[in-house]
Amino acid sequence: MDIEKLLGKASKQPCILCGGHGDYGAMFVPDQEYQKLFGALDGKKRILFYSICESCKSSPNQSERIELTMLADIKKSNAALN
């Protein structure tokens, strides 16, 4: 897996928090309890790549907001499949 390439690709996407122009690529590794929710196979870890803008990156509690956004999005997607 070429992490630098994936981060570069992610940086071109809209910011995960505000939807504006993304400035940075970043990655999120869900806690073990959420790995299956994000589609990880047994014994494997899912790594999610996303973009964030300068403003949101500098905002307070941005890490918690990103995690909550990703969890809400995956739960919504999983609910739509059922």
49 backbone dihedrals φ, ψ, rounded to 5°: -105, 140
Domain boundaries, the chain: 3-81
10 has pLDDT over 90: yes
Strand, helix or coil for residue 50: strand
Per-residue pLDDT tens over the stretch 38-69: 889 999 999 999 999 999 999 999 999 999 99
| Structure confidence at residue 24 (pLDDT) | 96
